[in-house]
Amino acid sequence: MDTENLYYFEQAPVAKAVAHFAVPMMLGTSMSVIYSILNAYFLGTLNNTAVLTALALTLPLFAVIMALGNLIGMGSGTYISRLLGEKKYEEVKQVSAFAFYSSLVLGLIVMAAGLPLIHPIVNALGATPDSFGFTKDYVTVMLIGSPCVVLFFTLENVVRAEGAALTSMVGMILSVAVNILLDALVIFVFHGGVIGVASATVLANLAASLFFAFHMGVKSSFLTISARRLKVTRELLGNVLKVGIPVFIMSIFLGAMSLIFNHFLVEYGDQAVAAYGISSRLLQFPEFILMGLCEGVVPLIAFTFTANKLRMRRTIGFTVQAIAALAAVFGLLVYLISDHLIGLFSNDPQLIAVGSYILHVTFLSLFISGTTTLFTGIFQATAQGTAAFIMSIIQGVTLIPVLFFANRLNGFHGVVWSLVIADAVAFLTGALMLYALRHKLQPELDTLVQ
């Protein structure tokens, strides 16, 4: 392993090690959210609420495609980090080659299976008559480009798993920069509309995937994309899938939750759907920063789980403190300027009011959702497949019945507040499982969860 990466894994002070792994990931994910916000902004310049509605409705599909990338990427990535902690470098090459080729195959399967079903997919997403054509255009391009998207999410996880946090960040920022540049060109120069924006997303993911592939094939001492290293064994599949499947299910549930949530909001008009689409993108900024923090430390947790469990406990404790501080800062900001934030995307007073209200409510659960992400990362890093699986379904299992009851009892307000309730249940479930598994993970975890 490179000496610098080994230093941060094994010797650097915990705060410095966490910063090394998490800050690049936080910057990379925040850039991705900035792109997502700008994506909505560029389409907002068309002054067509149906276009923004279509953009919101396609979020579940993107979640499914991303889920396939995380299925292979997170499963392979945590396995690679554990193998590095055990100094099994040949196995690392086998896992990285498997991740590269299996993600390409999965992307091609999505494209081949999805394109013939384009109309049923668009209907299932909840497209209204006004937004149907825009939604269909976006979905078609995303299905064609799904191999690039799956590969991007896979390789980003794999590169980060070997400790190359800066390289991971550069790849994510490259994707965002290409995306923003192409968005501006297709909207303001070529007037490409929804098709142009969707194509920009695919091409940006392709550019970043090529960058990651170059690093793995040329720069990295331990990762590879060589087909000669591809050797699928039962042990490899078991270690990848026991973490990857819960991650996949979690992403699918997130997509399903978004789909179901949109169906409930459609009852209250296109403005409600568009307002949620905008506010959810704004919420993604702090959420993805916290996600970047939690996912960034997963390789460090996985490495120290096999090499130094006391260091793992200290890493987790410091990360919890960082989540609390960031959640407090973002919460204060959103309560001060929420109307202005929504106003950047629309001049519709009703849409601004609804979007601001959604922001105020959903930001209440920022700390617990961030800590829940950390709980999930701990279970993934330490190969606790059952706990990771439970975390992957608990929020969706909770949200669906809560949505039905809350909608009946309190209409639109109940629908919005159901998100906070689901987050709270997931947090409590994760905390209880971490407490129950403390002896299996390490005795020192007792002091963390008490």
**What per-residue confidence (pLDDT) applies to 12?**
82
Q: Report pLDDT digits (tens) over 61-111.
A: 877 888 888 889 888 888 888 888 778 888 889 999 999 999 999 999 999
Between residues 46 and 399, the one the model is more confident about? 399
The residue type at 402: V
Confidence band, pLDDT 50/70/90 cuts, at residue 33: low
> Is 110:27 a contact under the CB 8 Å cutoff?
no
Alpha helices, DSSP H only, in 115-192?
Answer: 118-124, 132-144, 146-161, 165-184
Q: Using the predicted structure, report yes or no on whether residue 378 has a pLDDT greater than 70.
A: yes
Q: Using the predicted structure, report yes or no on whether residue 211 has a pLDDT greater than 90.
A: yes
**What per-residue confidence (pLDDT) applies to 309?**
78
Segment 33-50 mean pLDDT: 68
The Cα 380–Cα 60 span in angstroms is 23
Q: Using the predicted structure, report yes or no on whether residue 214 has a pLDDT greater than 70.
A: yes
Q: Which two tokens stand for residue 33?
A: 């959210």
Between residues 276 and 251, the one the model is more confident about? 276
**What per-residue confidence (pLDDT) applies to 449?**
44
- Percentage of residues of the chain with pLDDT beyond 70: 89
- Collect all residues with Cβ–Cβ distance below 8 Å to 421 and sequence separation of at least 6: 398, 399, 402, 406
Q: What is the mean pLDDT of the chain?
A: 81
> Is 93:223 a contact under the CB 8 Å cutoff?
yes
For the CA atoms of 379, 243, 124, 192, what is the dihedral angle to 10 degrees? 100
Q: Report pLDDT digits (tens) over 137-163.
A: 888 888 999 999 999 989 988 998 887
How deeply is 329 buried, as exposed, middle or buried, from its count of CB atoms within 10 A (0-12, 13-18, 19+)? Answer: exposed
Q: Which two tokens stand for residue 213?
A: 């592939």
Q: Using the predicted structure, report yes or no on whether residue 362 has a pLDDT greater than 50.
A: yes
**What per-residue confidence (pLDDT) applies to 2?**
54
Total number of domains in the chain: 1
Domain encompassing residue 341 = 3-449
**What per-residue confidence (pLDDT) applies to 445?**
44
Confidence band, pLDDT 50/70/90 cuts, at residue 13: confident
Flag the least confident range among 80-89, 239-248, 373-382, 435-444: 435-444
**What per-residue confidence (pLDDT) applies to 444?**
44
The residue type at 182: L
